[in-house]
């Protein structure tokens, strides 16, 4: 509105009375009015042109903002794609490494299985030979040489000299090397079986020790007859002595003789 007020043109108007004005004066008035009309139309057209230009500039500005946003979005997308590609590549590499490790582990397991089977066969053959070969009657025996049969088990009484005696752990390891364990006695018959052939005064380790505040056998079962030995105490293991009906509770670190036990062979 302010621009339109500034564009107003002022013109002189001659008022007359009476007779018609001379032709020259009339032409002057027509010229003034004509110039005023032409100038107003020109300025209106200029104002409309400026408004169209402003609208166009505004539209171009909006388009530029949209275009800039699109460019930024594309850049961010490309960056994310690049990061994802790097992660995919890294995961692919890790997967290949895991596949190689898996393959190596399978090969190791296969080798161990083969070695174990061969060892088992060799041990089985050794057991057969030790039970069956060299007997005068050419028959397989229920126990190997050096073992005493008391059905249903075979017992080995290791009466080592003091210098070669073992702690409870060492004795159990020795028995396992012979495919056996330290002797157990779940009932009175088994108790008598391991006592019958014991000898000497030093005592023999049996497969009983304190674990988690309880007397436990090497097969994982609990001692059910508490009258056979003193109440449990940490770090204690059981010894059997010839001629005694009860067992002694001593430190597992002491060294003594030991009794191994395994199931007798059915023949």
In a domain, 180, yes or no: yes
Distance in angstroms (rounded) separating the CA atoms of residues 4 and 26: 29
**Total domain count for the chain?**
1
Distance in angstroms (rounded) separating the CA atoms of residues 267 and 261: 18
Q: Confidence class of residue 246 from pLDDT cuts 50, 70 and 90?
A: confident
In a domain, 157, yes or no: yes
Which range of 82-96, 103-117, 212-226 scores highest in mean pLDDT? It is 212-226
Residue ranges making up the domain that contains 217 = 148-263
pLDDT (mean) for 241-246: 82
Least confident of 3-7, 53-57, 90-94, 110-114: 3-7
In a domain, 231, yes or no: yes
In this predicted model, which residue has the larger pLDDT, 182 or 145?
182
Average pLDDT, the chain: 78
In a domain, 135, yes or no: no
pTM: predicted TM-score of the whole model, two decimal places: 0.52
Residue 181 main-chain phi, psi, to 5 deg: -135, 165
In a domain, 229, yes or no: yes
Q: Please write the tens of the pLDDT for every residue from 28-71.
A: 555 554 554 555 556 666 677 778 878 888 888 888 889 888 88
Q: Please write the tens of the pLDDT for every residue from 180-193.
A: 999 999 888 888 88
Which DSSP state fits 222?
B
In a domain, 194, yes or no: yes
In a domain, 96, yes or no: no
Q: What CATH number should be reported for the domain holding residue 168?
A: 3.10.100.10
In this predicted structure, the answer to whether residue 86 has a pLDDT above a threshold of 60 is yes
In a domain, 44, yes or no: no
Q: Confidence class of residue 20 from pLDDT cuts 50, 70 and 90?
A: low
Q: Where are the alpha helices (DSSP H) in 133-201?
A: 168-177, 188-196
* In contact, 228 and 119? CB cutoff 8 Å: no
In this predicted structure, the answer to whether residue 219 has a pLDDT above a threshold of 80 is yes
Distance in angstroms (rounded) separating the CA atoms of residues 98 and 252: 45
**What is the per-residue pLDDT for 265?**
80
**What is the per-residue pLDDT for 17?**
47
CA distances from 29 to 15, 39, 52, 100 (A): 10, 16, 35, 106
Distance in angstroms (rounded) separating the CA atoms of residues 206 and 239: 6
């Amino acid at each position: 509105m302010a621009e339109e007020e500034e564009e107003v043109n002022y013109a002189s108007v001659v008022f007359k009375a009476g007779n018609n004005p001379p032709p020259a004066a009339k032409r002057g008035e027509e010229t003034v009015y004509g110039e005023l009309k032409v100038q107003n139309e020109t300025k209106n057209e200029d104002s409309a042109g400026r408004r169209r230009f402003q609208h166009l500039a505004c539209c171009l500005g909006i388009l530029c903002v949209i275009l800039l946003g699109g460019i930024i979005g594309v850049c961010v997308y490309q960056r994310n794609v690049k990061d994802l590609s790097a992660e995919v590549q890294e995961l692919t590499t890790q997967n290949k490494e895991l596949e190689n490790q898996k393959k190596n582990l399978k090969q190791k397991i296969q080798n161990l299985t083969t070695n174990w089977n061969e060892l088992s066969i060799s041990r089985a053959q050794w057991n057969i030979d030790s039970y069956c070969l060299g007997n005068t009657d050419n028959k397989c025996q229920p126990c190997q040489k050096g073992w005493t049969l008391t059905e249903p088990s075979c017992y080995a009484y290791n009466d080592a000299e003091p210098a070669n005696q073992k702690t409870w752990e060492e004795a159990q390891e020795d028995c396992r090397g012979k495919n056996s364990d330290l002797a157990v006695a779940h009932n009175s018959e088994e108790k008598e079986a391991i006592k019958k052939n014991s000898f000497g005064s030093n005592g023999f380790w049996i497969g009983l020790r304190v674990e988690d505040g309880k007397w436990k056998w090497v097969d994982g079962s609990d001692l059910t007859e508490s009258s056979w030995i003193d109440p449990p105490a940490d770090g204690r293991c059981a010894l059997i002595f010839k001629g005694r009906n009860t067992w002694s509770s001593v430190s597992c670190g002491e060294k003594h003789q030991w009794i191994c036990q395994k199931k007798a062979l059915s023949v």
